[in-house]
Structure 1
């Protein structure tokens, strides 16, 4: 089943108890709000689907995994309410992944920036290629990774998150990400990555469903406050995106 275009695309397949979500956007697989909402809806639907035990999330193509928030939509924000509404899309998606009753496996084939790092962090287990460098560039455009920070910090620790955030212009290698715990393993080629994803997901889907559900609960213990925390963070970003600094920086980045 395929959903959407021109605001992005989302393809969903279910086979052998494994659901695969493939999102895409012409601008380096970036996220407009509509695509964030579609993904959130599908995670909620799959969470309640008894035929699914494992979810794989990946993106289209062989370039970037995800460039984060849509610059076009960020530039179009004209007031705090609109800004908060846009960033709350990331809040809702991360919370949907957190609350999903199924284990989520991330397939990161290329570079991830900002919200893309957040999505990789919100997966329960993530595999990547050695080309899958990561960057939190938000400070460079006048905002910050406020909504995704809890997920990133939970995965790699506050110190590593701060290192990424404060060095906003610096790419961190896939091996760095693996050493910090974001990636469980890295592979030389996309083919090797796909083979590993298929093998791991198949094994995971063969386990006791009740045990998988209890494991999911344990992985996300002490995150109940994220329901409100992430929306509070969205309001911070929604305010900052209106600053002259951010508007100028976004225009320069877009060029």
Structure 2
């Protein structure tokens, strides 16, 4: 969290400084510079970055791989929320997805502060919430087929993508858990989150009145012909 805030503040400072300079130039008749303001910093150009724990690590370090996967997951969940809001029927899980994004932000903070042998607790309440939500929505659905092929509308398909990214995020935190740098509950949460995303992808298809795509073995297709 501190790392994210520092990057934001630094970028904001660069933006404000550049904007002020452009506006000063604009006051003398040169207004074109206002449109040329760039928001960037050169930190990290060397391929290194600093974690919240104060360690300088290469950008392909386990910590940054986990941070990147978690950030990507949150971003795609945000896209899935937008697709859900575009539907003709209200999708009941939208607020829950926003809650998940908040927890993923907390998880990113924990990852960035992770130090081997100094594990900080991650609340199991979050996992229990997911389990309750899964049961709630599962009761509204028919039993799942063995193999569901991603599809069934934009909201449904985007949740399937989020589910696969969640699996990658889970894999990326596993080494940190194994090294004692991250609470195992964080890994459990991501494992349960992928189940939740699968469940609500089915809810999304139902809300949008789309048919789920089910894998049919080739032998069965031939027999039907």
Above 0.5 in TM-score?
A: no
Using the size of structure 1 for normalisation, the TM-score is 0.23
Q: Which has the higher helix share?
A: 2
Q: Which has the higher strand share?
A: 1
Return the index of the structure with the highest Cα Rg. Answer: 2
Using the size of structure 2 for normalisation, the TM-score is 0.25
